[in-house]
Structure 1
Amino acid sequence: MWRSRNIATILVMILGLASTTVKGMRFDLRSGATKCITEDIRLNAMTVGKYSIVNPVEGFSLPEEDRVTVRVTSPLGNNYHYADRKASGSFAFTAGEAGDYMACFWAAKQSPTKIMSIDFEWKSGLAAKDWSKVAKKGQVEMMELELRKLYDTVTTVHEEMFSLREREEEMQDLIRSTSSTMATFTFFSLVICLSVAGLQLWHLKSFFQRKKLI
């Protein structure tokens, strides 16, 4: 009984580590302003996103000045998507770098100021895969599709475990480096304090000797 509970707990933890992120939101953007959203994406992970401005008047197209410019950049500043003055759009790419990717929305300045509502959905990892297309394309049975999903999940968890191990090693190196630096700083601080104390004693002794107090 105890063992089965432990196994269940471990499975829940492993599934929680799987890099499947879905960000679905609606936010307001003021004309003349910029809003950026970040997403932590692993190396070689698939990511897809789509955005659209909520049209306040259904049945009519949005005017040119009420559209947004969208740019998606990598942690190193490389462009992965750019769209100028669009009412809606989408992007999809495989991450060439690991880290925080940024999607920035900008609206041209208007007078008077307007506020636009934008629907934005960003998926990465397993959530970014369209399994319905996979099943249709391969004409596979439902069980085979589920097995393929499970295989991809296990692969993702395996890669995530290696990523966590690398981050732990980097953190341990940082801790060791910080400890070494602090030890050196403490040593030199102690030497300086003792030197200052010695100079003060020497100065007081010389002063008392000149005044013939000792």
Structure 2
Amino acid sequence: MSLEKENHVLIIYPHPDDEAFGVSGSIMAYRDMGVPVTYACLTYGDMGRNIGNPPVTREALSKLRKAEQLEAARLMDLDVKFLDYRDKTLEFEDKDLLRSDIKKVIDETKPSRLITFYPGYSVHPDHEATAEAVLDVVAEMDEADRPTLTLVAFDKRTFDDLGEPTLQTDISEYAERKREVLAAHKSQTERLLIELCKDTQFSKEARERWFEKENFYYYDINDWISKEKE
């Protein structure tokens, strides 16, 4: 399915490289259409599982991953806003403050489409906290101002619980550029990209998952509002 022309696309994720795996092909497609795209990255990923090669300190990793994100953004012609939260702490942050900071970005960019994780299906606590905060903010917006919510789910239960994606974009023409974007996040992806070059079942499935299509689910904010009232 082809992407539609948008006034502005806003992506809100917690970590550098979150955008690279699930949506970078779509980002580049939007940019080729002339659509402004902004990535609000909540943390610098300083608690990432991989600490670089050669290894670096957590403080240095924060600076390294910020630089990697900026390079990835350059490759995609993407605007990046860092919100300066600490990695792996979002579920413990002041919820009002987190929502306020997210609201500021939404008010500033006025997106017609907003991409974030699908709550309950995004595996990592930071992913879940981000998704919940975003939906809380959108739920409080005037209905006429709300962006179309396009969510990413990758929990192993996704297809059983949510069914087939409601939006699936063919990104095969962006496959090589997406590899370059992933490679820009070298501290986190170097080993993975080496594995993807091997002839294994894992690498075959990963190449299909990341370099052929990107999957999204449209989300009705009224479902979230109803859930919060339960």
- TM-score, structure 1 as length reference: 0.22
Which has the greater radius of gyration? 1
User: By percentage of residues, which structure has more helix?
Assistant: 2
- TM-score, structure 2 as length reference: 0.21
User: By percentage of residues, which structure has more strand?
Assistant: 1
